[in-house]
Amino acid sequence: MDYGRYALTDDETLAYPSYPLERDFPREEYELRTCRARELMAVADLDALVITSSIVGRWFTSSHEPHSWHDQAICRSAWYILTADADYLYATPTNNHNFNTQRRATWVRDIRPLVERGVWPRVETWGIDQMPAIFASLGLDRKCLGFELGDNMTLGMSTNDFLRLRELMPDARFVDGSGVIRRLMTVQTPLEIERTRIACQAAVWIHDQVLQVLRPGLTEREFLAVLSANFAAQFGVDYSYRPTGNWDVRNEARRDYNLHHHIATDRKYQAGDQICRGTSGASYLGYAGDVDRIWYLGEPPAVVRDAYRITWECNRAMAEQIKPGNLCSDVHAALVRVTDRHNFQRPLAGRNGHGIHNTGDISVHPDNHTVLEPGMIVSVEPMFGNRFGYYDLEDQYVVTPTGRDPLHELAPEEMPVIRA
């Protein structure tokens, strides 16, 4: 196919006088992110970083733009290409009104079109065969290109397309760039730390509302509606709140359970309910306030108070291990020491803490030996479940040069009790 025949390069929509859009972050933040990326690329001997997934791409561009990343609009594609001296965003323009918006919503200097034509029986509206000429035009057809190939990474294209592209560019070196990407998204910028702090503080606020709002006889649907209204009245448009998701309610005395679920139900709260939320639902400018809390409706039995107390001790012991030079596995080992001392169940699967980007290296897990260093955000999240309840107390910390700094008010030592 003659892709040049179909390329959209200009039309009147690009010149429309358009209302200015507020970008996700200031230009200085974009310069910081790309500067750090280039430093890491130089160490890894990469001539270009090629990003095709939305979770990484939008870290560079915007949480909203472009909307055509392949993993979010599977018939289309977007490519962010960063070199030592330039940055490019290639995307399917449909008509160029998309480019008009991207130029107002991102800091990327050079935004160019992908042709929205493919050769049947290909069903996507763009063709992978156009990419070699694009890389050649950038002088990258014989260079070392870093892609999202490692663990915690997802390519924003099909495996067949990636293999086809490598076949079409025999003189280029396609290598794993995930080390660079994970490093970028493991050590947070000051702006990311501040936004996470604000989100976590909103999370604590909405969790405090549970004590004020929840009463026996309220349905879950009614309860969540009040939380949503209270959050909307308290916070502005830069915040968002999702009331559903990650709620767990167990009532062993009544053999009545509503385990970890994501849909609001008409179940009525009653005395003896142990309630856990494994998130907060609150976020600020795209950064989540991932703070987890537990409540009890009525007078908790001793077995519940003991389990809460042990979970809280795990939380604090883990936090003590957050400091430069320690490992993620050291944080997890602190949890195990507490459970063993109390002859309490060990967590046998999953992680018990994490960073703020799933593409990062941070997992609080016995087999993760990532070295902690200043600028990393690490959560401590001991999790245990039994018939009486789900015990999940999560707090967020940033690693400092001398230790750690909590991003919000920490989990209470005593279990929060709601009068029944």
The ranges of the chain annotated as CATH 3.90.230.10 are 190-418
Hunting for tokens 């994970």 — which residue is that? 182
What pLDDT band is residue 156 in, cutting at 50, 70 and 90?
very high
Averaged pLDDT, 183-195: 96
113: enclosing H helix or E strand:
strand 110-113
Phi, psi torsion values for 169, nearest 5 degrees: -125, 65
Least confident of 261-275, 319-333, 343-357: 343-357
**Number of Cβ atoms within 10 Å of the Cβ of 189:** 16
- In three-state secondary structure terms, 120 is coil
Greater pLDDT, 347 or 205? 205
Q: Which two tokens stand for residue 135?
A: 């890389």
Q: Is the pLDDT of residue 73 over 90?
A: no
What pLDDT band is residue 7 in, cutting at 50, 70 and 90?
confident
Query: How many Cα atoms sit within 13 Å of 245 on the Cβ side?
Result: 9
Please, what is the average pLDDT of the chain? 94
Q: Which percentage of the chain shows pLDDT scores above 90?
A: 84
What pLDDT band is residue 10 in, cutting at 50, 70 and 90?
low
For 364-389, how does the pLDDT look when each residue is reduced to its tens digit (9 = 90+)? 999 999 999 999 999 999 999 999 99
The residue length of the chain stands at 420
What pLDDT band is residue 26 in, cutting at 50, 70 and 90?
very high
- pLDDT for residue 255: 96
Top CATH class of 3-186 equals alpha beta
What pLDDT band is residue 95 in, cutting at 50, 70 and 90?
low
Q: Is the pLDDT of residue 139 over 70?
A: yes
Q: Does domain 190-418 have CATH number 2.170.130.10?
A: no
Burial class (CB in 10 A: 0-12, 13-18, 19+), 296: buried
The ranges of the chain annotated as CATH 3.40.350.10 are 3-186
Averaged pLDDT, 251-257: 96
Phi, psi torsion values for 318, nearest 5 degrees: -65, -40
409: enclosing H helix or E strand:
none
* Cα dihedral 150, 155, 158, 163 in deg (nearest 10): -50
